Chain A
Amino acid sequence: MAFKQTRLRVPHGIGPTKENRRIRSCSSSRRRRGRRGRKRMESQLNFNIENSFDSCYSYCARQALDELPHSFTITDPSISGHPIVFASKGFLKVFGYTKDEVVGKNGRVFQGPKTDRKSVMEIREAIREERSMQINLLNYRKDGTPFWMLFHLSPVFSKQDGRVIHFVGVQVPISPPRRPRWLASGVVRNGANMCEEVDRVCGNTNIMFGSCRREVCSDTPVELSRVLALESVLDDSSRERHSLPGAGILSSSLNISLGRIKQSFVLTDPHLPDMPIVYASDAFLRLTGYARNEVLGHNCRFLSGADTDFSTLYQIKESIQTEQACTVRILNYRKDKSSFWNYLHMSPVRNASGKVAYFVGVQIEEGCKNQDRNGLCPEMRHCSVVGAVKVAVRSLSMGAGPSRS
């Protein structure tokens, strides 16, 4: 097994030292915290979902949206599972669900056996590329009845840093289209007004209209444009997408892919000054006791403390500089100042250009009964996280046309 040799710092085996006591009590209390920890994890997720809307928009925005009768949802790609964080009254009425049954779920729960897989893939691609799109889609109500709808998806960009903070999905029921998978580009004949309205609120010239007027209910285009106007309620002037997202901002699709990995890990960007954390998994936040906004943008050194071994830190630094993977055991500290032994694995992660885009650090807390649902040993768990991250990052910055060197 080709592990690098590490200098193992072991607490004194003799007698209960202050450090020993701290570590031991930490381990046993964390075991007890198991069930409570899971409940806390759920409530943290619920908090994130509830907070997602309110932290970005004013109270008046929520009121205004509540008054609109049409069917639409707002989803948050930065929360694991890309869940719905807001569902309009019209949506609940059309689908037959209550608010609590919908908020927190991903849009796929409304799909069913006859939903066209290719359409689902196209929606997924649009999310990945952070662009608007429109498509005919078959969805299912709560009572299981299927119905066709014209689905319009649009990203909402933050004014401050240009990243995608939400996606808005609008659902307009239509009569069954004769050719369900037909996606034509072109202008809805209802007229220039509609296009202008859509262009104005979405600021995006890439809109594809999924059906011709004949197949859509007569007042649907008007209805659609009115609903799209809701985007102006959210943020009127932030339609300008910066050509490159701000430093350290991850695309929403990468966020979604990384959200599937349930272990503790962080992604750091070596191209930014001081190599800050650009992604932290929920499990990492639970392990260290920090909130997401306290770790994003900071270098990992805040995890080190008084008794952290310098030579281990140096080893990590050297591996980063030589773009190599390494595995170490390092003493880290949580927000509440308690310490734990971190079985850490770091690895460079490359994007489509073949060059290193990020480093991934996977943390396993030693000494505790680490429950791994998949039955893998710690070294394998390190590797499974690294592999999943590598697959997710591999498609980033995939340019078109002549290659950049």
Chain B
Amino acid sequence: MVTVKQVEDDNLVSKGAIPEQLKCPRFCFRDIRIPLYRFSSQSLLDDSPFEGHVCIPEDEQSALDSLLLAQWEDKMWKGVLRYDVTTSEIKVIFGRRKFIAQLNERLGMDYVPKPEPDKICGQGNLSEFQWTKHQEEFLFYVASGEMAIPELIPSAAMPDGAVLIIINEIPVEYGHVFLVPCGPDSLAQVLDTKSLEMVARFAVEINNCSFRLFYDCPTAGTSHRYFEACYFPSPLPVELTPVDTFFHERRRGMRISAVTDFPIKTLLFESNKKFKRMVEVLVEICCQLQEKSIPYNLLISDCGKKIFLFLQMQNMANSGTLSAWECGGYFLFQSRSEFDQATEETMLNKLRDVSLDDEGFQVVKELCCSIADKFAA
């Protein structure tokens, strides 16, 4: 019986090589070498119309998409994930809005409170055990690049301004990862332009309509900013709902619309050109929302072309907010009976109960217009 020889390939995370630095309490995980994907030098700062990456034909899987799916499936096969999310049944809840429900019994069983990236990034006091446990969850880095085409480097240390992609071991859907911007100000609580730009760029390069990116505004207790993403099998209800544009910058192409007739108050940001400006406007709006204690969530869909902003009720305690995919209309149930009895009405109520009210929504809309005008000037 001949065993297959495992060739030490740089594409795979090397195990067993624990750096010396781990032994001391303050360590830097920069020495972990995993694949690095560099974007091409063509950036979103250009004035050229933002129609998606010119190098990637839409009828073919992009390099970044292949990389993410490959790494994710590989980790699943190696047993890094707690369960196989594709065994969870999903269905459309009968009704006009087509809410989606998933029965995930495993989520309740060994549920760990969410902010894992808190323990990983930054200079916290991490024990060696926690560190080695998390190392296998690192997939790859994403950073800006200098070449005309994207580059994949099989093994590299963390470059400056990179985003670290970490697998979520209790996934909500296939491909569920955390995107953690790692930079000097990564401990800041506030959403910043550079991070949002990087993750939006990520969505564009993935170029797969099933891929969605999420951001939940930081609640009390999280010390680190991160995004999440996964592949949803079908359109989310919010994406199918008509919108009403109330701000349209003709020349620069930024458009802000209100999603009509949706139980939670939602705004949609789109831009054909000057994507960077839209990101700046959005970040400024989010900062102001945070100052006013209005919880919000972001959903980036349609390969980066659409950014939804969900607005929840002003909440001083900042507790009990919904996650972005729930705002979008995708719900998880932990028991078979709840799953079977879910109706559109209960889902509508769940969203309505946390939504910002009409008056608050009007204030936010006016805020958006004034900020957008300010940036346009």
Contact = CB atoms under 8 A, between A and B. Distances in A.
A399 B91 contact: yes
B231 A376 contact: no
A279 to B, nearest CB: 16
Nearest to A182: B242
Given A114-B272, A388-B61, A394-B233, A403 B340 contact: yes
Contacts of B233: 352, 391, 394-395, 398
Contacts of B234: 395, 398
A60 interface: no
Contact of B49 (A113, A124, A381, A386): A113
Interface stretch (A3-11, A167-175, A205-213, A269-277): A3-11
Contacts of B90: 352, 354, 394, 398
A8 to B, nearest CB: 4
A261 B339 contact: no
Contacts of A2: 77-79
Contacts, number: 170
A124 to B, nearest CB: 7
Interface in B26-79: 49, 51, 58-61, 63, 65-74, 77-79
Nearest to B62: A374
B89 A384 contact: no
B82 to A, nearest CB: 16
Contacts of A391: 69, 174-175, 208, 210, 231, 233
A394 B4 contact: no
* Chain B interface mostly: loop
* Chain A interface mostly: loop
Interface residues of A, number: 59
Count chain A CB atoms within 10 A of each CB in B59, B73, B302 and give the residue with the most: B73
Nearest to A128: B234
Contacts of A399: 91-92
Contact of B242 (A181, A388, A403): A181
Contact of A384 (B2, B69, B209): B69
A373 interface: yes
A68 interface: no
A262 B60 contact: yes
Interface string A97-136: 0000000001010001110011001101100000000000
A121 B239 contact: yes
B51 A113 contact: yes
A374 B72 CA distance: 16
A310 to B, nearest CB: 15
Contact of A353 (B89, B210, B340): B89
B154 interface: yes
B4 A261 contact: no
Given A354-B88, A384-B69, A400-B93, A373 B63 contact: yes
24 contacts: A2-B79, A108-B58, A121-B302, A352-B233, A354-B87, A374-B67, A375-B154, A376-B66, A376-B67, A380-B12, A380-B71, A380-B74, A383-B69, A387-B70, A387-B174, A388-B65, A388-B66, A390-B86, A391-B69, A391-B174, A391-B208, A394-B231, A398-B90, A399-B91
Interface of B: 1-4, 6, 9, 11-12, 49, 51, 58-61, 63, 65-74, 77-79, 84, 86-94, 98, 103, 152, 154, 173-175, 208-210, 231, 233-235, 239-240, 242-243, 253, 270, 272-273, 302, 305-306, 339-340
